[in-house]
């Protein structure tokens, strides 16, 4: 998929916001559509027909909901719609998972479903869900993200924001939600996804932000499916409707830019998923796995330093270049990785190890009825899903010959497996051939098929060749390695 300049600029900006902890999501009904959850218009179709109205001819759904309320003098028919539909329908989709895996701590939504918080739980996070104003005063212990459900939740459907009366009284009854959203819009970079911007409450809040801050408003972004002529009937009426909708969309986009909300046009909805995947890949390229194990160092061919100290210096250099280093604590390698990162942290006088190091020591025996090989596979999959680059060094183990007490050094199969997993997850692979063993074999594989592994980085081929140059000075190879990583990471 070819990305437009606007989308590429957005990706760079949003990845930067993720790194700084300032990224936020505002989710509308469209986020849940592919999960089987229907939009509000479809939910109102049957009760509207009872009033003699055609929902397809109505653009003001808030007024339509008010008419339904007026007819019965109660919100019961509307709350039953929410309860019956959102409590039984829908499952987490790919976009939910991608968003929940990113380090986003602030989610706002007008949706009544529970899919966002369920996705966060599924990815191992602890969401603090705010359904009512009273919830804002309570802070959930050890929360990883806050989900603000400013229009209510299926569990409290009788309190949901549904009709004109609710919108008119929103500022009075839910002022704390408004204040919280204003604060986030000022301090965070929002991505609006699955949102139609027909919500009168949101438009009110955005206009207030503009009034309060004049032109000093943070830039936000939203996805919008481009009006396509192919989706209209090839008749005079169809062509006229296409021209009308096209003009209306362009005017809507221009109007939203008054609030510093920039449109990101996509031709198909599945392009949104691919863009979220690219954001994840680019963000994760700040996280570097050092894959390797070693019981033997005789093939180490770098001058000026010993093998263990080399591991230490590589890890320290990554820390100084603001990479987050991940390790599975491989035998003979893991300790050097950790020591190197800690040394870099000490020199920079930083203490929060979670910002600099991802440690996932492999289990040493079977647990929970799972075979040890199954556990190791799960650990490898999880570790590589958190990283965007993987460095491979050494990769050997000592075993006894079959039927003999003689010990021999063989390549470590785990390093090869981590290389294969990295490829399936689009993790960029950087084998250090000069460290020998499995890494040498992997380096040869990469440099001999460089255009396959790095089609977008042909200019890095010469530097990759250096990673296998025997007796190269350790300072030179560490510099080359960091140059490669920074080029892949981008933004430097």
Residues with a catalytic annotation lie at: 151
Task: Select from 398, 387, 478, 473 the least CA-distant residue to 432.
Answer: 478
Tokens representing residue 106 in the block: 């602030």
* The dihedral sign for the CA sequence 17, 321, 383, 491: positive
Please tell me the distance from the alpha carbon of residue 76 to that of residue 79, in angstroms, as a whole number. 5
Angle between helices 76-86 and 40-50 (to 10 degrees): 140
Three-class DSSP category at 433 = helix
Contact between 461 and 447 under an 8 Å Cβ cutoff? The reply is: yes
Contact between 202 and 167 under an 8 Å Cβ cutoff? The reply is: no
C-alpha to C-alpha distances, 110 to 88, 145, 170, 204, 329, nearest whole angstrom: 18, 17, 13, 14, 44
From the CB of residue 74, how many other CB atoms can be counted at a distance below 10 Å? Answer: 10
For residues 49, 55, 60, 61, the Cα torsion angle rounded to the nearest 10 degrees is: 70
Spell out a b/e string for 96-107, using b for 16 or more CB atoms within 10 Å of the CB, else e: bbbbbbbebbbb
Three-class DSSP category at 325 = strand
CA angle, residues 380, 362, 479, in degrees to nearest 5: 65
- The continuous run of DSSP H or E covering 241 comes out as helix 236-256
Please tell me the distance from the alpha carbon of residue 306 to that of residue 284, in angstroms, as a whole number. 30
Angle between helices 115-122 and 94-101 (to 10 degrees): 60
List Cβ neighbours of 440 (8 Å cut-off, separation of 6 or more).
299, 431, 433, 434, 468
Contact between 346 and 353 under an 8 Å Cβ cutoff? The reply is: no
């Amino acid at each position: 998929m070819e990305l437009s300049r606007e989308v590429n600029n957005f990706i760079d900006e949003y990845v930067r916001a993720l790194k700084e902890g300032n990224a936020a999501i505002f989710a509308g009904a469209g986020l849940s559509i592919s999960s089987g959850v229907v939009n509000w218009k479809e939910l109102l179709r049957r009760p509207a027909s009872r009033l003699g109205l055609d929902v397809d001819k109505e653009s003001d759904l808030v007024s339509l909901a008010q008419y339904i309320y007026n007819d019965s003098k109660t919100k019961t028919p509307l709350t039953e719609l929410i309860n019956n539909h959102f409590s039984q329908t829908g499952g987490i989709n790919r976009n939910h998972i991608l968003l929940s895996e990113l380090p986003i701590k602030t989610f706002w939504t007008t949706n009544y479903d529970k899919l966002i918080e369920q996705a966060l739980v599924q990815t191992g996070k602890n969401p603090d869900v705010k359904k009512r104003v009273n919830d804002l005063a309570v802070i959930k212990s050890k929360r990883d993200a806050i989900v603000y459900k400013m229009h209510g939740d299926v569990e409290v459907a009788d309190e949901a924001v549904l009709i004109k009366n609710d919108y008119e009284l929103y500022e009075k009854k839910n002022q704390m939600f408004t204040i919280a959203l204003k604060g986030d819009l000022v301090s965070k970079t929002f991505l609006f996804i699955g949102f139609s911007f027909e919500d009168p409450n949101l438009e009110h809040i955005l206009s207030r932000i503009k009034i309060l801050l004049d032109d000093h408003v943070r830039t936000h972004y939203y996805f919008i499916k481009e009006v396509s002529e192919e989706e209209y009937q090839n008749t005079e009426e169809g062509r006229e409707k296409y021209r009308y909708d096209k003009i209306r969309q362009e005017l809507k986009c221009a109007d939203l830019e008054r609030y510093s909300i920039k449109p990101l046009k996509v031709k198909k909805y599945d392009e949104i998923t691919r863009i979220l995947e690219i954001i994840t890949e680019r963000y994760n390229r700040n996280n570097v796995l050092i894959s390797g194990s070693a019981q033997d160092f005789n093939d180490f061919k770098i001058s000026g330093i010993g093998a263990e100290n080399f591991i230490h210096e590589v890890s320290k250099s990554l820390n100084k270049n603001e990479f987050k280093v991940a390790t599975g604590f491989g035998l003979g390698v893991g300790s050097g990785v950790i020591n190197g990162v800690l040394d870099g942290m000490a020199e920079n006088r930083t203490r929060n190890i979670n910002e600099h190091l991802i440690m996932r020591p492999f289990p040493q025996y079977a647990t929970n009825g799972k075979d040890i090989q199954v556990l190791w596979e799960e650990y490898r999959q999880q570790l590589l899903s958190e990283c965007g680059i993987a460095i491979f060094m050494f990769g050997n183990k000592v075993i006894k010959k079959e039927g003999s007490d003689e010990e021999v050094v063989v390549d470590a199969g785990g390093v090869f497996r981590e290389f294969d997993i990295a490829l399936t997850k689009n993790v960029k692979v950087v084998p250090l051939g000069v460290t020998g063993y499995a890494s040498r074999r992997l380096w040869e594989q990469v440099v001999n098929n460089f255009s396959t592994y790095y089609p977008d980085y042909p200019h890095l081929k010469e530097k990759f060749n250096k990673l296998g140059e025997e007796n190269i000075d350790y300072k030179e190879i560490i510099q080359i390695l960091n140059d490669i990583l920074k080029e892949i990471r981008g933004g430097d």
